[in-house]
Chains A and B, each alone.
Chain A
Amino acid sequence: MNANPLANPAPQHPVPQHPAPQAAPARGLWQIAVRRLLRNRVGLASAAVVAAFLLLILTTASGLLARDWDQQYAVSFAPPTAIAGNPQDDDAVGQGGTGSQIDPRAPVDLYGVVDPLADVMARIHGLSAPQAAAVAPEPTSVSGVVDPIGDALARAKAVPKSAVTQQRAVSLTLGADKWGRSVALKVVKGAETSVLVGLAAAAVATLIGTLLGALAGYCGGWVDATLDWLYGVFTAIPYLLLVFAIAAVLQQKGVTTIVLILGLTGWTGVYRLIRAEYLKHKAREYVQAARAIGASHLRRMFVHILPNVSHVVLVQLSQQVVGFIKAEVILSFLGFGVPVDVVSWGSMLNETPNELILGKWWQLAAAAVMMAVLVTAFAMLTDALRDALDPRLK
């Protein structure tokens, strides 16, 4: 980004162009960065939005909120409360049911087949549902262990089917999905998965990229050549093919898998930038000076140079988070995403094509708005960070 003249009326602290290895000037750089960040109102607002999301994620992860997102709260595709009561929705496909009211307890002809569970089933069928649960103490039971809460649990479960149906809401704040789950709860719980995936994958990618970039840039020679070759291999393969290949190797689904897929494919950009920075910095005077006073290679790489290129790392990290939140959505949309007992914005968007055919738009709207807000806020925060951290922009 070009220097922004409006962002520059800073007090003219004499910041050294190439900070010496002492701690004090480095702190000065950070202080300036913080001051610059605090002056950027858009950046602060974005930071507040991001912080709010992180808070939300803490509440859902700790189980305070949206723990029961998988429960059925409403009828299938209950509309958002604001537009509820539209009578034409009632006969839409997916609402009415097939009208097949089969009584599962009605006696059926066995056609002479011996039912090995006949007596147990007769006892269950002979009782009303809540009583049926109390059949538990039963001679065929081989386990002698008596569960103290077993009966109570069972009684609670054995609610007749019709009673459950009656309790279901006909509209919810943000509507319901096909299974009658609350879209509001899903979108909140989905934020947890999406943001965690974004953060974790970005951390993995940035870590790999920084380490390899530092090695290649600092060592040069055959190390650089080998790592460049690896970089070449990774960037030569089309991105989605690479994703599919890694997914095929990992052979399982889950949040960890997605983090690994994204992290293992996303490090190349960071690597390229960090390598270039190290190439530039390793010849500078302060590194020469560090060498002169006997600092080891590792110390020079990570104690002397790294702080001076950390703005690149930080900015890359935050850009990656945005990219990976979007990538998780794409992966889930392609079916490489989270398993069915986890919800993410991607898995929500994955459900929407079928819903849109039926005219049920609320899940798409909720997930898309949440994602747009977070991604925009994060992107603007990244911009602000870059402005604040770049040592060339005083």
Chain B
Amino acid sequence: MSVFPLPVALFLSALVSLPVAAADMPRPPAEASPKVLNVEIPVPETTLDPAAIQDLYSAQMASVIFEGLLGYDYLARPAKLVPLLADGMPEISDGGKQWLVHLRHGVRFAPDEALGNKPREVHASDVVFTLERLLDPEVHSPFSFLLEGKIVGLDAAARRAADQHAHFNYQAPVAGLQVIDDYTLRIQLNAPDVNFGHALAQPNLGIVAPEVVRHYGDQIGGHPVGTGPYRLVRWVRGSALSFEANPVYRKRLWNFDPGTDPEARRIASRMQGHAIPAVPRVEVRVIAEQQSALLAFRKGELDILYLQNKLAPVALDGRGALKPDLRKLGVQHEVTTEPEILFNYLNVEDPLVGGMAPERIALRRAILMAQDDEAFIRVIRKGQAVHLPYPVPAGVVGHDPAYRSLLEYDPAAANALLDAFGYRPGADGFRRTPQGQPFAVRYWRQSEGETREFEELYKRGLDQIHVHFEGHPVPFPDLLKAERACQVTTRLGAWIADYPDGDDFMQLFYGPNTHANNLACFQNAEWDAMYRKSVTLVPGPERDALYHRMARMLETLGVAKVSHTRLHHMLLQPKVVGFRKSMVSAVAEWPFVDLQ
């Protein structure tokens, strides 16, 4: 359903199509025309200041303009950290507390009036400025958590600025950020953290130049100057962005690790040695209506289209293959899974279902066993999801495809379990507590959007085990507030990777994260001890074994059941080569793509 009445929609679509028409006009005949990659984003970008970015699509834009110290290998699965502006991976010492970073020589910021229209080399002081800026109270970075509490002295400096209502003092030295020379930086962490590299790889920590930030003041969001493969040349806010290859971008060639995946190997054999970026110009259009985007793609106006699951049945047949009309056009179709989990959780502090008494554990497990994940995928997701019993999704470090859940859909066993613990049905057919009290399980969901179906399925599950259901839709902000206050009895939680490591998912159940990300309010000394140990381990078999125990314990105690992860469909025009869905959604793929 369109939000706008027809005339407005026509006007808007005219706005959207204008820039494209303008871009088309001066284009010389076919052979001579430079390659242009046309892509869309469904939600308008907000800002291009890396530190201030909150939304995914702005982050994608920033990811091609800026570069961080580290990044992710384009092909490697699960995700693998690689150096970008750093010269080699950081040297980690002191048990993970000290990170020594060498900077690549000769990397230059794109020329800009703030830099005297000349390229300027990146120095270690720029990195320090960038890291400090993420915690600057005046920037209000939504991603400040990446560094909060991590670097020695940095939080104190930020607190000082906030307490005195003063500007952050970038001149004052921070103990944990030592510039050794122009190309060397030593970062001292408060505690060992082997995952600190993932923080450095986020687009929000793309390296910025202090002069540029000062020059543009609060207009910095519209004047991105970075070291990345592209630079912004035109910006019609909320409608279109044009990027051109950065003329001073360092010489960078395709050299990624395809691993054993045949598809990745095919891409690699074709692309290795290619220049990055291969396409000199990228046009990004904001197309809010997915139907319009699909039409534009069919007409060849878009080269890459993220096909939202809602519309998947329009382009794909029942077996998930392209429909004949698209196949005839030679369209390529890439399916990956999102680095996310959707899980039903039960609040361990809830007065009705919470607690660790055996009958409460049994109730929670029975409720979770009554949830039919297969029906969720088939009916609600229309087949556009895969079952995932493990808290770490595919593509994320620590995933186990062979893991099997203890709580698979089994209403008969769930009924037997409730019978065994004295939840007997009353005269109305619904179960009573072992103490004989009638009860209802209150299912929370956000009242906006298409979550009514979640509630319907949950109710069908509870109906099967004869437990009274009570739907409780509330506005999303209220839901978040209630969740933080541990008032939500049960809900379908969702978590998408901030960074592609299992730790980002396991922290969802860590006791001290209660009233934050730990939605089930699960606090268990044994589990928390395992988590604390896992943080100190480099990813590997030892940590995996720990993760397996932690995942199993969530099931035996009836805390949560991981349900599924959605499919991510990309449609590509036949001429697009070298595309592989980025493991980190905030990193755009365009610099690595070529057009034939």
Judging by beta carbons under 8 Å apart, are B358 and A117 in contact?
yes
Q: Does A83 contact B (CB under 8 A)?
A: no
Judging by beta carbons under 8 Å apart, are B419 and A94 in contact?
no
Judging by beta carbons under 8 Å apart, are A111 and B415 in contact?
no
Q: Does B129 contact A (CB under 8 A)?
A: no
Judging by beta carbons under 8 Å apart, are A158 and B425 in contact?
no
User: A161-B411, A335-B447 are contacts. A97–B361 as well, Cβ < 8 Å?
Assistant: no
Complex interface: chain A residues within 8 A of B415 (CB): 133, 154, 157-158
Q: Does A340 contact B (CB under 8 A)?
A: yes
Mark B residues whose CB is within 8 Å of A: 1, 310-314, 316-319, 358-359, 361-362, 365, 369, 374, 377-380, 382-383, 386-387, 404-406, 408-413, 415-417, 419-422, 424-425, 429, 434-436, 447-448, 450, 452-453, 455-457, 459-460, 463-464, 466, 469, 471, 473, 545, 548-549, 552-553, 556-557
Judging by beta carbons under 8 Å apart, are A157 and B412 in contact?
yes
Judging by beta carbons under 8 Å apart, are A91 and B471 in contact?
no
List 3 tightest A-B contacts by C-beta distance, closest first. A104-B408, A104-B410, A91-B318
Judging by beta carbons under 8 Å apart, are A114 and B416 in contact?
no
Judging by beta carbons under 8 Å apart, are B452 and A357 in contact?
no
Q: Does A14 contact B (CB under 8 A)?
A: no
A-B contact pairs, 9 of them (CB 8 A): A108-B404, A111-B552, A115-B556, A133-B415, A141-B421, A153-B466, A161-B409, A178-B379, A354-B382
CA distance A125 to B412 in the complex (A): 10
Judging by beta carbons under 8 Å apart, are B417 and A121 in contact?
yes
Complex interface: chain B residues within 8 A of A95 (CB): 318
Complex interface: chain A residues within 8 A of B435 (CB): 142-143
Secondary structure at chain B's binding surface: helix, strand, loop or mixed? Answer: helix
Complex interface: chain A residues within 8 A of B374 (CB): 97-98, 100, 102
* Closest A residue, CB atoms, query B558: A117
Most buried by A among B365, B456, B469: B456
Judging by beta carbons under 8 Å apart, are B434 and A141 in contact?
yes
Secondary structure at chain A's binding surface: helix, strand, loop or mixed? Answer: loop
Complex interface: chain A residues within 8 A of B456 (CB): 179, 340
A207 to chain B, nearest CB (A): 30
One of B310, B380, B417 near A120 (C-beta < 8 A): B417
Complex interface: chain A residues within 8 A of B420 (CB): 120, 123-124, 135-136, 138, 140-141
Judging by beta carbons under 8 Å apart, are A149 and B425 in contact?
yes
Complex interface: chain B residues within 8 A of A132 (CB): 412-413, 416
Q: Which of A219-242 contact B (CB under 8 A)?
A: none
Judging by beta carbons under 8 Å apart, are A93 and B549 in contact?
no
Q: Does A294 contact B (CB under 8 A)?
A: no
Q: Does A210 contact B (CB under 8 A)?
A: no
Judging by beta carbons under 8 Å apart, are B318 and A93 in contact?
yes
Judging by beta carbons under 8 Å apart, are A91 and B412 in contact?
no
Judging by beta carbons under 8 Å apart, are A140 and B419 in contact?
no
B171 to chain A, nearest CB (A): 50
* Closest A residue, CB atoms, query B456: A340
Complex interface: chain A residues within 8 A of B416 (CB): 124, 132-133, 135-136, 154, 158
Judging by beta carbons under 8 Å apart, are B459 and A341 in contact?
yes
Q: Does A350 contact B (CB under 8 A)?
A: yes
Q: Bits for A311-338, please: 1 = Cβ < 8 Å to B, else 0.
A: 0000000000000000000000001000
Judging by beta carbons under 8 Å apart, are A160 and B405 in contact?
no
Judging by beta carbons under 8 Å apart, are B419 and A116 in contact?
no
CA distance A119 to B156 in the complex (A): 53
A112 to chain B, nearest CB (A): 6
One of B386, B408, B411, B556 near A102 (C-beta < 8 A): B408
CA distance A178 to B383 in the complex (A): 13
Q: Does A63 contact B (CB under 8 A)?
A: no
User: A143-B436, A340-B471 are contacts. A106–B378 as well, Cβ < 8 Å?
Assistant: no
